[in-house]
Amino acid sequence: MPATVDYDAFTGMLKTAADRIITNRDHLSKLDAATGDGDHGTAMAKVANAIIATIDSHEGNDLKKLLKAIGWAAMSTDAGSTSPLYGSLFVGMSEAVPEGSGELDCQVLASVMESGAAKLRKNTKAEVGDKTMIDTLVPALAALRAAADSGKAIDEALSDAETAAATGAASTKDLKATFGRAKNLGDRSIGHLDPGATSMSLLFTGLKEGLAAN
């Protein structure tokens, strides 16, 4: 496995992640129907399609510009609260990409993802334990950073992040919701997976699978 991912590899990772989400659209909406209004799969599919369309129309191989364009495309999508969350995620990611860079090593990839998460978290007060996407995002990035700092290759680091993401998403089943419509259910929200945490887990699965396919 190469020590870096170039523009083509990274866009392949993003497209695979988007495809993963689109494929699971009905599953995500079914999860959301148990505790919310049942439209999370539709919202995520809109954002995923915006990711793919932006990649396909983007000219050049500047990852910084691409990620910023994806962020604005996501924000412009009519996907409720999903739009600003994922829009800020990608805009934040772009801010950590070195100017004019077409390749990312494991350390930089971790920094890029961390920058995206920091931007996203300015749009939510949720913390780990609140039964949201944060329960997936935080442990996934902690695993990615630990892997990068220990000198692991990018594929190993993404595998660690995917495992942590899946564990974080699964943990939401035993949590009581404190955000969104699900919070109105109180204790009745316990026993259901959070759809936002699940879709975030799918994103990390797709990134790992996309790298393996390139």
Which pLDDT value is given to residue 214? 74
Which pLDDT value is given to residue 88? 98
CA dihedral of 132, 10, 7, 78, whole degrees rounded to 10: -40
Which pLDDT value is given to residue 96? 97
| Helix, strand, coil percent content, the chain, rounded in steps of 5 | 75, 5, 25
pLDDT tens, 15-31? 999 999 999 999 999 99
Averaged pLDDT of the chain: 95
Question: Residue 151 phi/psi, 5° resolution?
Answer: 85, 15
3-state SS assignment for residue 214: coil
Which pLDDT value is given to residue 186? 82
Q: Tell me the C-alpha distance between 91 and 118, whole Å.
A: 10
Which pLDDT value is given to residue 99? 87
User: Residue 57's pLDDT band (boundaries 50, 70, 90)?
Assistant: very high
Which pLDDT value is given to residue 188? 83
Q: Is the pLDDT of residue 3 over 90?
A: no
Which pLDDT value is given to residue 35? 85
Q: Tell me the C-alpha distance between 89 and 53, whole Å.
A: 17
Which pLDDT value is given to residue 83? 97
Q: Is the pLDDT of residue 128 over 90?
A: yes
Q: Is the pLDDT of residue 117 over 90?
A: yes
Question: Following DSSP, what letter does each residue of 32-72 receive, concatenated?
Answer: HHHHS-S-HHHHHHHHHHHHHHHHHH--S--HHHHHHHHHH
Sign of CA dihedral 95, 13, 202, 72: positive
- Domains of the chain with CATH codes: 4-209 (1.25.40.340)
- The beta-strand segments (E) located in the chain are 4-6, 103-105
Q: Tell me the C-alpha distance between 45 and 47, whole Å.
A: 5
Question: Residue 163 phi/psi, 5° resolution?
Answer: -60, -45
pLDDT tens, 150-167? 999 999 999 999 999 999
